[in-house]
Chain A
């Protein structure tokens, strides 16, 4: 069964203090790893998809990296508006009826103080 574990559960940073969020996963053949941002009372918003080990993607202050066992979301010089819950999800390769399903981690709640 696919599993995703995110750490830490909560992270408090000062504005400008860079850090990383971790997503460890086990999946029977990774098709894609996804990062989402979720603001309170809203649905998750897509950030990145990573498909293979060594791949990196960037968007503003966020950079996602992928290895064979985990992914990191690096936040450089964060601002208060980066405060949100960050969710990681994995999708297994096509096979039977498992194609397309996303398995989510529990999320990391990021708070950035001014």
Chain B
């Protein structure tokens, strides 16, 4: 049971380049999330999804796009990379059961935009 898997682990992008951060989970969770974490800061929600075909914006969605075509996958797209997007990105998934709403996190993708 792999849990939440993120790829790549590290990436350096040039300003204006595009890339997709991949996230997949094998726990059949409805909810999936993308967060970014800057040094000394808590996690900020970028986008989330409550199920396949349904996505919604979080606190800091500008510059990002997502899609959710399957339960398992929730990729995050950066179209025109900017230095402000240098951060560590975490994908998470969770269940909707009323008694158990914890989220499980991936290991993170460290992105540097130069």
Q: Complex: how many Å from CA A108 to CA B82? A: 29
Q: Complex: how many Å from CA A89 to CA B59? A: 14
Q: How many contacts A-B (CB < 8 Å)?
A: 58
Q: Complex: how many Å from CA A16 to CA B12? A: 42
Bits for A26-47, please: 1 = Cβ < 8 Å to B, else 0: 0000011010100001111110
A100 interface residue (CB < 8 Å to B)? yes
Write the chain A residue with the least CB distance to B91.
A43
In contact, A106 and B108 (Cβ under 8 angstroms): no
**Nearest CB of chain B from residue A49's CB, rounded to whole Å:** 6
In contact, A100 and B105 (Cβ under 8 angstroms): no
Within 8 Å CB of A49, what residues of B? 100-102
**Nearest CB of chain A from residue B35's CB, rounded to whole Å:** 8
7 closest pairs, A vs B, by CB?
Answer: A43-B105, A104-B42, A106-B42, A104-B43, A46-B102, A100-B31, A44-B105
